[in-house]
Structure 1
Amino acid sequence: MLHTASALKNLLLQKSVRTGTFTLASGKESDLYIDCRMTALDPFGANLIGDLGWHAVRSKIHSEQLQIDAIGGMTLGADPISLAVGMTSALRHPDEALQVFTVRKEPKGHGAGKQIEGNFKSGANVIVVDDVITTGGSTLKAIDAIEREGGKVAFALVLVDREEGGRQAIEARGIHVISLFSRSTLLDE
């Protein structure tokens, strides 16, 4: 896993991390911008995320003897990560394969009016996913939608924790956060 983590870190630094002055989705100014979609939507990046993410998720599932049905989060950031981890789970351990779902920002205005699409059922034990957490706001919105639809969030998986309070906000809701990278580990601070 060390080689996988190193390769993913290098790809994130090459494709997804920018320094300068940026206004984030939260409205905060930052010296760091991280667009994980550039890495997660790269076929090599998706494979690395699937490997590292599945290893982290499976370790947590086994160490705590959890029964997990599905993995997903707020579109668009969580989608490629959730799918990569789900596909890796199916390839490596078909008997433990995770179904994948996505949470819309708002319920659909037509058809069934669903906010959660894909392989999600009320009563399911799920892992909520996000690409980057800053304040934790989008992850918390996904958790709210999942809980409204009858899902139970076992824990969260994030690709990068910016270390700006998001982890604490999510964990204040009683949901443990596993991050594959943090600002510190990504930038060797």
Structure 2
Amino acid sequence: MSNEATRQQLKAMLLEKSVRTGEFTLASGKTSDLYIDCRITALDPVGANLIGQLGWDTVKEKVAELGIDAIGGMTMGADPISLAVGMTSAVQNPEAPIQVFTVRKEPKGHGRGKQIEGNFKEGDTIIVVDDVITTGGSTLKAVDAIEAAGGKVAFALILVDREEGGREAIEARDIPVVSLFSRSTLLDE
């Protein structure tokens, strides 16, 4: 399937399964006429496959150029996206797949007390992931945890940018943002 066909199929699935209009209070506390729950699409096997293909096609050149070691972000929204892109990288680039990790909202209260779980180590160059950005707050919280653990964030991969200041907040920290969709492209505004 071509990149454009994959994009259109994923867009249709997002619109069908994940996008709702009405009046909503978002995690940021803002109210909006649009609610986007990407987890419904990302946790669907077909949706995950499409996200993996489109995500990997979008980042693979940067992965080689920047020496990316791993991909991950704040649980729960980033988890299926990171895994889908990581799995596609393993199929298409089996000699050097990117590893996958997740960032807990808070350090674990027992065991080793880790905030980052999975295939992450100090010194790794990272793609930070988020499903939807509004203010950029959860993405930046993941960035803070990654940097505190010795990771270097190369750029952010976002499934949907709501175009409400999140991109600008992340880029203000010198982290480029790559989004697969924006509110405008998703809704053809």
TM class, shorter-chain normalised?
over 0.9
- Matched residue SS, 1:100: strand
Aligned to 1:4: 6
The number of equivalent residue pairs is 187
Displacement of 1:81: 0.1
2:162 aligned with 1:162: yes
| Residue of structure 2 aligned with 1:32, choices 31, 34, 37 | 34
Alignment of 1:5-154 (within 5 A): 5-62=7-64, 65-154=65-154
Deviations 1:101-141 (A, max 9, x none): 00000000000000000000000001000000000000000
Q: Kindly state the Cα deviation for residue 96 of structure 1 after the two structures are TM-superposed.
A: 2.8
Q: Secondary structure at the match of 1:114?
A: coil
- Residue deviations 1:142-170, cap 9 Å, x none? 00000000000000000000000000000
Aligned Cα root-mean-square deviation (Å)? 0.6
Letter in 1 for 2:38: C
Q: Distance in 1 between matches of 2:96 and 2:42?
A: 23
Residue of structure 2 in register with 1:185 after alignment: 185
SS at match of 2:107: coil
Q: CA deviation at 1:34?
A: 0.1
Stretches of structure 2 lacking an aligned partner (at least 5 in a row)? none
Specify the code of the residue in structure 2 equivalent to 1:31: D
Describe the SS at the equivalent of 2:121.
coil
Gaps in structure 1 of 5+ consecutive residues: none
Identity in percent: 77
The CA deviation at 1:60 is: 2.6
The one-letter code of the counterpart of 2:19 is V
The DSSP-based 3-state class of the residue aligned with 1:96 is coil
Aligned mates of 1:58, 1:140 — CA distance in 2: 23
Supply the AA of the counterpart residue of 1:61. Answer: V
For residue 108 of structure 1, give the secondary structure of its aligned residue in structure 2.
Answer: coil
- Structure 2 distance, partners of 1:89, 1:46, is 13
Structure 1 outlier segments of 4+, above 3 Å = none
Per the TM alignment, residue 59 of structure 1 is displaced from its structure 2 partner at its CA by 2.8
Distance in 2 between residues matched to 1:55 and 1:173, nearest whole Å: 25
Q: What amino acid is the match of 2:79?
A: D
Give the distance between the partners of 2:113 and 2:56, measured in 1 at CA: 31
2:78 is matched by which residue type in structure 1?
Answer: A
**Equivalent position SS for 2:111:** coil
